Structure 1
Amino acid sequence: MPSSSTVPMTDHQHNDEEITPERLAQLAASYAADKKAIDLQVIDLRGVSSYTDFFVICSGNTDRQTKAIHDAIHEGLKKDHGQLPRRVEGVGESRWILMDYFDVVVHVFVPEVREFYRLEQLWGDVPRLDVDLLEVPQR
């Protein structure tokens, strides 16, 4: 999909709305922040990746916290915005959870796994979105 594409809403209550990949990344990061995710980064891959526009990368201190972050993102995007991931991997072990929303891929790690794979370093020269400006969704 071209980077200027929008992701259509899938929930019938939101069928007239569209959400951009950038907004989807911001929302996912906001839900993660609400669960006290640490070292939260949103990496802008538009123009450098053919399979996604944004990575949202964060950590939880424990596998229990990574699961809680996953749950918050999944439920928030589903209930509030009608968005469901194409696939989710890693929830059982909860050491690296990957949530694929097509134009946005969310990675939730425990710190030692994140340090081992170092995804941010692979994309060191691409822009980041300012996560300090994110709005935490009201529930």
Structure 2
Amino acid sequence: MGEWVQAAATAAQAGPGDNTVIIDVSQVLVITDRFVVTSGANARSVRALAERIEEGVDCCGGPKPAAIEGLSDCEWVLMDYGDFVVHIFTASARDYYAFDLLWKDCPAEAVTLSPSPAAS
């Protein structure tokens, strides 16, 4: 499961995701263990992120999401993988709902991409 969470987060941060974090909610929720949270610049990038994340999890042998909500307006898309949930916001929706502030007491890990060896 950790590999699938990391695959989702890496796919988001690879583009066009911004400010991608993994939040460990296992101590406060029983329905899931982790949130992957990311933002897109607009509805089009949110939809692209949902597709990229689903492909990223699938490529490492992970499951399809049990449910996807929010694709009709792409302001806040939720992808439910059971053990983890992906939240994809437009930047304005993420600010409005103060999602990061809501979960500030839970351990969080920012996702950064390592430079490729060829770039060195």
Task: Please give the range of the TM-score, normalised by the shorter of the 2 chains.
Answer: 0.7 to 0.9
Would you identify which runs of 4 or more consecutive aligned residues in structure 1 move more than 3 Å?
133-136
Long gaps (5+) in structure 1: 1-19
Q: Which residue of 96, 104, 107 corresponds with 1:116?
A: 96
> Which residue in 1 is equivalent to 2:38?
58
> Which residue in 2 is equivalent to 1:102?
82
Instruction: Return the alpha-carbon distance in structure 2 between the equivalents of residues 56 and 120 of structure 1.
Output: 11
Identity, % of aligned pairs?
A: 34
What amino acid is the match of 1:73? Answer: I
Cα drift, residue 89 of structure 1: 0.4
> Which residue in 2 is equivalent to 1:78?
58
Long gaps (5+) in structure 2: none
Instruction: Return the alpha-carbon distance in structure 1 between the equivalents of residues 105 and 68 of structure 2.
Output: 27
> Which residue in 1 is equivalent to 2:71?
91
What amino acid is the match of 1:129? Answer: E
Alignment deviations for residues 65-104 of structure 1 (CA, whole Å, 9 cap, x no partner): 1111100011222244241111000112111110000011
Q: Does 1:36 align with 2:21?
A: no
* Structure 1 length-normalised TM: 0.76
Alignment deviations for residues 4-48 of structure 1 (CA, whole Å, 9 cap, x no partner): xxxxxxxxxxxxxxxx2x322211001111223111111011222
* Structure 2 length-normalised TM: 0.87
Greater relative contact order structure (CA < 8 Å, 6+ sep): 2
What amino acid is the match of 1:38? Answer: D
Check whether the contact 1:87–1:99 (CA below 8 A) recurs between aligned residues.
Answer: yes
